[in-house]
Structure 1
Amino acid sequence: MTITVYEKPSGCFGCKKTKELFDAAGVQFTAVDITTNDQALAYVTGELGYSQAPVVVYEKDGSEDHWSGLNPTKISQVIAFDTAAITLV
């Protein structure tokens, strides 16, 4: 399972809160700054079609899901998936 949080680290409440929720649950993720990474910005705006940060991309077993903005419901689902995977191992 991989989680990538595409963020605007300065002044983005949703970005900060999303990372805090993953951190508090012990869920590992990669943070990518879209203000300094042109390829990442092109990916989230062009390929995924989002204009609001954060953009979270979650991949598990070859299946991908993604969303934009602070989404506690989706974050909780990913945390539950991650916790279940750790428990099974």
Structure 2
Amino acid sequence: MTLTLYIKPEGCFGCDKTKQKFTEAGISFTTVDITTNDNALAYITEELGYTQAPVVVYEKDGSEDHWSGLNPDKIKQVIARRTA
């Protein structure tokens, strides 16, 4: 399983809360700063079509799910899959 959070490091409430929820659940993740990584910004905007941070990309067993913004229901789903 891989979990990648595309974030803005300063002043992003949704980014901070998303990181907090995964950290509290003991789930490791990689963060990518979209304010300093042009390729990451292009990926989430041009390929995935998102305009809001954070963007969460979850991959497990060859399938991928992703969303943007603070989404407690999706976070709970990932935590449930990971801890199952």
- TM-score interval, smaller chain: over 0.9
Q: Aligned AA for 2:30?
A: T
Q: Aligned AA for 1:22?
A: F
CA-CA distance at 1:21 after TM superposition: 0.2
* TM, length-normalised to structure 1: 0.93
CA-CA distance at 1:14 after TM superposition: 0.0
Distance, in Å, in 1 between the alignment partners of 2:82 and 2:9 is 24
Describe the superposition over 1:46-66 as per-residue Cα deviations: whole angstroms up to 9, x where unpaired.
Answer: 000000000000000000000
Correspondence 1:67 to 2:84: no
In structure 1, runs of 5+ residues without a counterpart are: 85-89
Across the aligned residues of Structure 1 and Structure 2, the Cα RMSD in angstroms comes to 0.3
The aligned runs of 1:2-41 (5 Å cut-off) are 2-41=2-41
Distance, in Å, in 1 between the alignment partners of 2:72 and 2:24 is 13
CA-CA distance at 1:10 after TM superposition: 0.3
Distance, in Å, in 1 between the alignment partners of 2:83 and 2:30 is 17
Sequence identity percentage: 76
Runs of 4+ with >3 A deviation: none
Distance, in Å, in 1 between the alignment partners of 2:29 and 2:80 is 14
Distance, in Å, in 1 between the alignment partners of 2:76 and 2:32 is 21
In structure 2, runs of 5+ residues without a counterpart are: none
